[in-house]
Structure 1
Amino acid sequence: MILDNFLWRAALAGVGVAVAAAPLGCFVVWRRMAYFGDATAHAAILGVALALSADLPVFLGALAVALAVAWTVSSLSGRNVAVDTLLGVLAHSALAVGLVAVSFLENVRIDLMAFLFGDILAVDQWDVLVIWGGAVAVAGLLAWRWSALLTATLNEDLAYASGIDPQREKLILTLTLALVVAVSIKVVGVLLIGAMLIVPPAAARVFSRTPEQMAFIAGAIGIVSALGGLAASWHLDTPTGPTIVTVAAALFGICTLAGPVIRASRRA
């Protein structure tokens, strides 16, 4: 069976994270929500500590805390609290409290580096199912709300005129982001999730003429990054999560350098 081989499991997990993160990352780039993604991911380490202390799946703890942070930011933003300040407070506080809480878990063996930087080679069949379940849920939700999310992102006044509530769409986006963080934590870790959300869509911008094109190309770049990083890590004996992000960064550099040539050929 394909899931009995740890390399196949790792490859499926990496592709699943790319499928979930890339289209959502486009909205993160368009809305300039990169710091929000980082804050949600950093806070997830507190969920890891809570899940381990309660003997629950790590996914559930990370998802609960990520959802709590997303809900808090959406509820408090604009109420005499600057969003970037609120994100900074929540991110660093939750990360610090989570790391302190982990140190008190005496009867639980935990590889903290695996949660910070990912351990894709250690994913089991349950992890693969959770990741793909989350990826399908995210893809389905974005497909369902794509037009409304895009309208609210481009112009809030136009959204209101079309009967769309921009705040509701923003809440849907932040809650979806929390789900992506929860399913990605085992693959790239809380410190690198933001990169998988930002780098593939940023690279895809060069080749895209429509938002839909950007989402599909970002997904392809994310998949290549995941599989290429996994292969490079296997042959070079390097940490897999950081290697995946390094491959994504290299692809971004190549796309950026190729950008002027592509734009010139389009004008010709």
Structure 2
Amino acid sequence: MLEPFLLRAVLAGLGLALAAGPLGCFVVWRRMAFFGDATAHAAILGVALALGFSVSIYVGTLSMALLMALTVSALSGRGWAADTMLGVLAHTALALGLVAISFVPGVRVDLQSYLFGDILAVSWRDVILVWCGAALVLSGLAWRWSGLLTATISEDLAQASGINPAREGLVLTLALAVVVAVAIKVVGALLIAAMLIVPAAAARSLSRTPETMALFAALIGVLAVLVGLWGSFHFDTPAGPSIVVAAAAVFILSAGLGGMLRRG
């Protein structure tokens, strides 16, 4: 029998993995890694605002993640170099959040738990919120799957097919903000992007279709959660980073296996 805290950690991690895997495929296909980083870093500023105004951490992180995602979307294509703009916004939001937390009166905050996650300390309420967020994200991706794929392949093709690329981009923006909000307690702001990118990148070399890649990304994320938590429990290592290390190990193995399959 699993200890209650470990059972909650497993369930929270599985919910995050199932949502982050398919969403991460679009992040990889669209080369939005920096976009994910900027959105995740903004969550720390959301934590500070939530503490300052005594509202739910999830409300604060979701609001700031969504604001950052919409800001980046609005500024892209207006003459700004994308990588420079994202770098400035990501690090500015993270620094502002860390500074703002220090000004919140009467509040002692374990910043490490928000930067690297504290999955072993999640409550049943956190687990429910993670699964609700995962269900929302997966429902949105399933609903707009065809349109999202077409817009990802070519915006011109999407417009010719009667699909609005901006609308599909907004769906991804909303989904990304939700994942960031529910993942802040699980893997932390600094590791959210890794959970989006690494399983999807590992699945890419093993897949022949977008649907297969999305499925494999979710399964690899689940495997990383289980192996990472097992390693954290037995070797007394940080849970969030252990999960990402497990995902990276699967990526290395999949890259080697994918190369062998291509040569064969």
Q: Work out whether the TM-score is over 0.5.
A: yes
Which residue number corresponds to residue 195 of structure 2? 196
Which residue number corresponds to residue 238 of structure 1? 237
How far residue 67 of structure 1 moved from its aligned partner, in angstroms, is 0.3
Which residue number corresponds to residue 173 of structure 2? 174
Which residue number corresponds to residue 49 of structure 1? 48
Which residue number corresponds to residue 102 of structure 2? 103
How many residues were matched structurally?
264
Q: Deviations for 1:152-209, whole angstroms, at most 9, x for unmatched residues?
A: 0001111011000112211211221111111111011000001000000100012111
Which residue number corresponds to residue 23 of structure 1? 22
How far residue 43 of structure 1 moved from its aligned partner, in angstroms, is 1.0
Which residue number corresponds to residue 226 of structure 1? 225
| Cα distance between partner residues in 1 of 2:42 and 2:81 | 18
| Cα distance between partner residues in 2 of 1:230 and 1:187 | 11
Which residue number corresponds to residue 206 of structure 1? 205
| Cα distance between partner residues in 2 of 1:211 and 1:204 | 10
How far residue 110 of structure 1 moved from its aligned partner, in angstroms, is 1.1
Query: What is the DSSP-based 3-state SS (H/G/I as helix, E as strand, rest coil) of the residue aligned with 2:79?
Result: coil
Alignment-mate amino acid for residue 236 of structure 2: D
| Cα distance between partner residues in 2 of 1:202 and 1:80 | 29
Alignment-mate amino acid for residue 26 of structure 1: C
Aligned in 2, Cα 1:78/1:245: closer, same or farther, shift over 3 Å?
A: same
Identity within the alignment, % = 63
Ranges in structure 2 where 5+ consecutive residues have no aligned partner: none
| Cα distance between partner residues in 2 of 1:69 and 1:29 | 19
1:127 equivalenced with 2:129 (yes/no): no
| Cα distance between partner residues in 2 of 1:253 and 1:14 | 21
Which residue number corresponds to residue 164 of structure 2? 165
How far residue 74 of structure 1 moved from its aligned partner, in angstroms, is 1.2
Contact kept? 1:3, 1:125, Cα under 8 Å: no
TM-score (norm 2): 0.97
How far residue 105 of structure 1 moved from its aligned partner, in angstroms, is 2.2
TM-score (norm 1): 0.96
| Cα distance between partner residues in 1 of 2:28 and 2:76 | 19
Which residue number corresponds to residue 216 of structure 2? 217
| Cα distance between partner residues in 2 of 1:57 and 1:13 | 18
1:145 equivalenced with 2:144 (yes/no): yes
| Cα distance between partner residues in 2 of 1:3 and 1:168 | 43
How far residue 264 of structure 1 moved from its aligned partner, in angstroms, is 3.4
1:255 equivalenced with 2:254 (yes/no): yes
Which residue number corresponds to residue 82 of structure 1? 81
Which stretch shows the higher mean deviation, 74-83 or 143-152? Answer: 74-83
Ranges in structure 1 where 5+ consecutive residues have no aligned partner: none
| Cα distance between partner residues in 2 of 1:171 and 1:85 | 22
1:5 equivalenced with 2:4 (yes/no): yes
**Regions of 4+ moved over 6 Å:** none
RMSD: 1.4
